[in-house]
């Protein structure tokens, strides 16, 4: 069995978490904002941080793991600078998301669930982006792209490459 690392929060994170907790009547209510803050600072939620969160808000570790696995926005592995989340649910599939997925995979040289070697892009399939009438749809960060075509998605990737 490998050596287990203890995760230690930064001073800034501890300070921010105390602020977050103080704005709720019960520490447990701060679970989602704390996880968002960790992911914001780290780019993902390190598995080693889960015990710290559980102890901080006084809940079992399994409860934090349940929250993380329920919400698709939480990542427990590092992702690329640009995380392309393509909806492949029924509505977007009927509008051509499979073709968009193949286009992205070909353009980036990766499959869904992978990150490019340069760490710039991660591609994920997601269940729904709540824009069912505008599919196929993809989210990158806070931006949602709708009515995608292979040409549009190639242009989007090109634009992100230029940003670096």
Domains of the chain, first to last: 11-70 (1.10.10), 82-163 (3.40.30.10)
Mean pLDDT, the chain, integer: 93
pTM for the full predicted model:
0.70
Counting other chains too, the contacts that 146-151 makes at CB distance below 8 Å and 24 or more residues apart are 147/95, 148/96, 148/97, 148/100, 149/96, 149/100, 150/99, 150/100, 150/103
pLDDT higher than threshold 80 for residue 7: no
- pLDDT at residue 50, as a whole number: 96
């Amino acid at each position: 069995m490998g050596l287990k690392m203890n995760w230690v929060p930064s001073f800034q994170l501890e300070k921010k978490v105390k602020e977050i907790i103080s704005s709720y009547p019960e520490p447990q209510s701060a679970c989602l904002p704390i996880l968002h803050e960790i992911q914001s600072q780290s780019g993902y939620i390190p598995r080693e941080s889960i015990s710290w969160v559980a102890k901080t808000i006084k809940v079992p570790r399994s409860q934090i793991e349940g929250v993380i696995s329920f919400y698709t926005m939480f990542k427990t592995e590092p992702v690329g600078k640009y995380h392309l989340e393509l909806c492949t649910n029924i509505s977007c599939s009927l509008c051509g998301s499979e073709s968009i997925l193949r286009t992205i995979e070909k353009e980036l040289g990766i499959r869904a669930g992978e990150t490019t070697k340069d760490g710039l892009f991660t591609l994920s399939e997601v269940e729904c982006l709540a824009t069912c009438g505008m599919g196929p749809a993809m989210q990158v960060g806070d931006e949602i792209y709708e009515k995608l075509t292979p040409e549009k998605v190639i242009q989007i990737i090109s634009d992100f490459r230029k940003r670096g």
